[in-house]
Amino acid sequence: MIDVVLTGRRVRLRPVKPEDQGILTRIFNDPEVAQWWGEPARSVRDAMNPEDSESCFVIEAGTEPMGFIQCSEEDDPMYEHASIDIALRSDWQGKGLGPEAIKTLAEHLITDRRHHRLTIDPAAHNTRAIKAYERVGFKPVGIMRKYERGPDGTWHDGLLLDLLAAELKA
Ligand SMILES: CC(C)(COP(=O)(O)OP(=O)(O)OC[C@H]1O[C@@H](n2cnc3c(N)ncnc32)[C@H](O)[C@@H]1OP(=O)(O)O)[C@@H](O)C(=O)NCCC(=O)NCCS
């Protein structure tokens, strides 16, 4: 588990604390987040109780806790890599802060945690997320068919993107 504060130009990523339940509840109950993340109570529970391989951060802009980002690290030497997930409250979307938070975490995973490859797997129809990830340097790998169940109970496709260490944009 990563237990450091990471600082970008406009964002600060700090590890989730036990008293963050209210902050996380607000983030995951935002309809524009729940649309992609699913059941808010479950997302909050998972963020408060990460697995050993997972690290969870609140994203702050100034003093405002406006988002959540997490990574999961695979330590099997044959398949070592890290994956990332992110959610910003809707009033903080569309300002380029998502790509900045991802870049901040990606830099740490590559430089300090020595990962050579990162992955991210949005719904294939989440165009905004895909654009944001491509802006950081992620490249589409392919469609994962009927990968994820949406809030309406139906399966939809996911898009796997990956980024090799040298591809992280400055
Ligand atoms: C996905 C997310 C992290 C992107 O972060 P962001 O800070 O909003 O991203 P940006 O401001 O860089 O916008 C990304 C792109 O989408 C475009 N965009 C903005 N609002 C949009 C919308 N409603 N629909 C489609 N595209 C949109 C932006 O113009 C930008 O395009 P560009 O790179 O060509 O300029 C953030 O919007 C978010 O948390 N959304 C809700 C939860 C979510 O979808 N999480 C991802 C699950 S995998």
DSSP string, 25-38: HHHHHSHHHHHHH-
CA 94 to ligand 1: nearest atom = 11
Burial class (CB in 10 A: 0-12, 13-18, 19+), 43: buried
* Confidence category of residue 78, pLDDT binned at 50, 70, 90: very high
pLDDT at 31 over 90: yes
Calpha distance 82→122 (Å, rounded): 15
pLDDT at 3 over 90: yes
Ligand 1 center from residue 99 Cα (angstroms): 9
Ligand 1 center from residue 1 Cα (angstroms): 27
Find out whether 159 and 130 touch, Cβ atoms under 8 Å: yes
Ligand 1 center from residue 161 Cα (angstroms): 16
Q: What is the pLDDT of residues 131-162, one digit of tens each?
A: 999 999 999 999 999 999 998 899 999 999 99
Average pLDDT over residues 49-66: 97
Tell me which of 125, 131, 148 to substitute to probe ligand 1's pocket, judged by most ligand atoms within 8 Å of the beta carbon. Answer: 131
* Confidence category of residue 165, pLDDT binned at 50, 70, 90: very high
Distances (CA, A) of 23 to 58, 87, 117, 149: 8, 12, 31, 25
Q: Which residues in 14-41 are b (16+ Cβ under 10 Å) and which e?
A: bbbeeebeebbeebbebeebbebbeebe
- pLDDT for 169 equals 87
**Pairing assessment for the beta strands 54-61 and 12-15 based on DSSP bridges:** antiparallel
* Confidence category of residue 30, pLDDT binned at 50, 70, 90: very high
Ligand 1 center from residue 157 Cα (angstroms): 18
Phi-psi label, residue 2: left if phi above 0, alpha if psi -120 to 50, beta otherwise: beta
Residue type at position 84: I
* Confidence category of residue 67, pLDDT binned at 50, 70, 90: very high
Average pLDDT over residues 81-107: 98
Tell me which of 64, 128, 169 to substitute to probe ligand 1's pocket, judged by most ligand atoms within 8 Å of the beta carbon. Answer: 128
- pLDDT for 170 equals 80
- pLDDT for 151 equals 84
